[in-house]
Structure 1
Amino acid sequence: MHQSLPIADDRHRKNARQRARQANLGRVLFLIASLAFVVVLLIQVLHASGAIATGFSDWRPVLYVYLVWGITFGLRQVLLHGERGWRALFLLPAVLFTVAVVIFPTLFGFYIASLDWNLSSLDGPRFYGLGNIIGLFHDTYYWNALRNMVFYTLAVLGEYAVAFGLALLLNADIRGRKFFRIVFLLPMMLSPVAVSWMIGKSLLEYRFGPAATLARNLGWDNPAFFASPWIARLSIEAMDAWVSIPFIMIILLAGLQAMPKEVLEAAKVDGANGWQSFWHVTFPLMLPVSITVLIIRIIFKLKLADIVINVTAGGPGGATDTVSSFIYRVYRDRSNVGYGTGLAMFYLLLIIVLLSLLMRLSHRWTQKVT
């Protein structure tokens, strides 16, 4: 019995030394792969920017080294953590894919934003530092587009109110409920580009469009829906809302159908009328669903561009411009890749800050109400 204890201790020490050697090997391999990846990436970035003459003809070596780095990272996890490392390997492809298609393009976008790169120039890209970011602070058209986005984003609350009303209607026991559910979902099945031409270019056409003809018969002398700034904004918002309200409605309808019926029946037994039952029972219970669909809708609203580009091209005088449509014109009309990317990166940072604040405030509000 006493002799078996030293043998067990020796085995334990040997296993510990073996694990330590494996861990050190994993760290060394990962360090070498990381240094190689950083060196190859730095050489290619400097070569692409014209800072050095030595480099690669394309970005394939960077991709190859990145794949080797990913394999080495997985090997490191196995050598360091054993069984836990093997389990972590199942997440590695998703992590590498996210880095490749999200993080790296974002970092590359910041790199392009630091260049003075105009496709119409024969000089090619050259390093410009923070020049593009400084320039956007003096761009009145960009800030006008940002102000328009405040209006379009706040209009989401109106879309939510209409969608909630439709969801309550379709959740009630009314005749033809299935038919109306299909009819109200039809706008969501259309492309925003099709809506732009069907409504913006046809229905609201100021000479022969049906809406313009009806407005003229009602006494509007010059029914131009896209000539006045505020009427143009409201027309763009109406078209976008017509496409998007069904999406909000179907999510809210799903939430209403998932609500426990016993709670509503208890409210009726307690003597609550329709409004009290909605405000004190239905709305608080629907708050998590409402916040989720509002945040998703705001994200889509912040990308609004296609309807504006096809109907008004930002006019009149930038009154209907969104940030996305303005950036599109910077690329298309000015061929200014560096400045357009700088505008997009700055807008991305604003979106991240806005959504972070919204999620934090909504979490606090949900806790307070519920």
Structure 2
Amino acid sequence: MTREPGIERRREEVKVRRARVGRGLIWAATALLLVLALVQGLYRAEVIGFGFANWRPVLYAYLLWSAALCGGLVLIRGDRGHQALFVLPAVLFTVAVVIFPTFFGLFIAFSEWNLSSFGGRRFNGLDNFYAMMNDPYYWNAMGNMVFYVAFVFVQYAIAFGLALLLNAEIRARKFFRVAFLLPFMLSPVAVSWMIGKSIMEYRFGPAAQLARFLGWDSPAFFATPWIAKFSIMALDSWVSIPFIMILLLAGLQALPKEIQEAARIDGANGWQAFWKITFPLMLPVSITAIVLRTIFQLKLADIVINTTAGGPGGATDSITSFIYREYRDRSNVGYGTMMAEFYFIMIVIFLTVVLALVSRWMRRAT
């Protein structure tokens, strides 16, 4: 049975009108949200003299925009718009708790705002940025981060050796797998107190007593800058190596056994089989483990804060621990936020470049 052309034409006209209404609804709600956010931002920056007492109207406008976006997509796309409604809540939630705070942080970063003063927040332009560029302690912490991130490769090498060991046919293999995973189940805060503040305590700690027995007269693990850095990395490695190890162990168990057996038949020894077969086949897993561990390392703070508090003299500070002390000790919200936003941008650029280089290198290698 064929449909009349007039009915089809009317249906198409209804769809077009619905789509126009949907687009108009979305654009109107978007314009309202942008205008309110711009007015409130300019008012808070003391550029204009009118605005709202708080950001609550902007929040209400965002909720209205979210509802308008959902309704507009249904009007524009029909059934496909209903499908998009299942994804939109997650997207809108991400915008609310990730993207908006990031841009709001940029707004705070260009302000002089110290919680210990009575003046409140005041827009100061690029003063925080200039102060950060001339802050030797911040750039010292940035240099420390280069060392901490480079130490990930040491952790990777140790983890690869442990993964090879646990993948071999050894006695009590299941027990050792569970035992080596135990540090990963502990909080870095607990590890820093349990080991850094207790076992490595320079007067009565077991590690200090053992060091004296071996000939170290004053075993202060956190008093000398370089010893303190390596001590922090030892604690961090004890927590983090099991994470890399379990990823590499899963990759080793997924390798085809036939290739390794063929290498043995051809007369390859253990080192040749590892370097020519196992390691190349494990490159995708290895790169994934290193990249993930690098991301976690860029957030290093808890162990530094609990063991050295950045000392001696800021020598062991990570960027995150330095920003934390700027907030806690000096209550300098504006300057601390500027450092955090700049570090965030540096991380995004660094990881983007690293992932692009890794992807290009993997395409050439495979």
* TM-score bracket for the superposition, by shorter chain length: over 0.9
Which structure 2 segments of 5+ residues have no match?
none
For 1:296, the equivalent position in structure 2 comes to: 292
Corresponding residue pairs, total: 366
Q: Select the residue among 111, 118, 126 that pairs with 1:115.
A: 111
Q: Which amino acid aligns with 2:192?
A: S
For 1:179, the equivalent position in structure 2 comes to: 175
Shift in Å at residue 312 of structure 1? 0.7
5 Å matches for 1:7-86? 7-8=4-5, 10-52=6-48, 54-86=50-82
Shift in Å at residue 50 of structure 1? 4.6
2:279 counterpart of 1:283 = yes
> Normalized against structure 2, the TM-score is what?
0.95
For 1:328, the equivalent position in structure 2 comes to: 324
Q: Which amino acid aligns with 1:222?
A: S
2:364 counterpart of 1:368 = yes
Q: Which amino acid aligns with 1:197?
A: W
- Structure 1 CA distance, aligned partners of 2:84 and 2:320? 39
- Structure 2 CA distance, aligned partners of 1:300 and 1:283? 24
Shift in Å at residue 300 of structure 1? 0.8
Shift in Å at residue 84 of structure 1? 2.3
Q: Which amino acid aligns with 1:16?
A: E
- Structure 2 CA distance, aligned partners of 1:51 and 1:135? 23
- Structure 2 CA distance, aligned partners of 1:342 and 1:116? 10
Shift in Å at residue 51 of structure 1? 4.6
5 Å matches for 1:122-161? 122-161=118-157
SS in 2 for 1:156: helix
2:340 counterpart of 1:344 = yes
2:249 counterpart of 1:253 = yes
SS in 2 for 1:276: helix
2:294 counterpart of 1:307 = no
For 1:192, the equivalent position in structure 2 comes to: 188
Q: Which amino acid aligns with 1:237?
A: M
Shift in Å at residue 140 of structure 1? 0.2
- Structure 1 CA distance, aligned partners of 2:266 and 2:87? 51
SS in 1 for 2:222: coil
Cα shift readout 1:255-287 (whole Å, capped 9, x = no counterpart): 111222222222222322211221222112211
Q: Which amino acid aligns with 1:286?
A: M
Shift in Å at residue 52 of structure 1? 4.9
- Structure 1 CA distance, aligned partners of 2:225 and 2:112? 33
2:238 counterpart of 1:242 = yes
Shift in Å at residue 139 of structure 1? 0.2
Shift in Å at residue 27 of structure 1? 1.4
- Structure 2 CA distance, aligned partners of 1:299 and 1:156? 10
Q: Which deviates further from its counterpart, 81-90 or 158-167?
A: 81-90
Shift in Å at residue 211 of structure 1? 1.5
Cα shift readout 1:190-210 (whole Å, capped 9, x = no counterpart): 211111122111211112221
SS in 2 for 1:239: helix
Shift in Å at residue 117 of structure 1? 0.3
SS in 1 for 2:120: coil
Q: Which amino acid aligns with 2:29?
A: A
State the Cα RMSD in Å: 1.8
Q: Which deviates further from its counterpart, 259-268 or 89-98?
A: 259-268
Shift in Å at residue 119 of structure 1? 0.6
- Structure 1 CA distance, aligned partners of 2:357 and 2:271? 26
Cα shift readout 1:18-50 (whole Å, capped 9, x = no counterpart): 222111111111111111112222333344445
Which structure 1 segments of 5+ residues have no match?
none
Q: Select the residue among 263, 273, 277 that pairs with 1:267.
A: 263
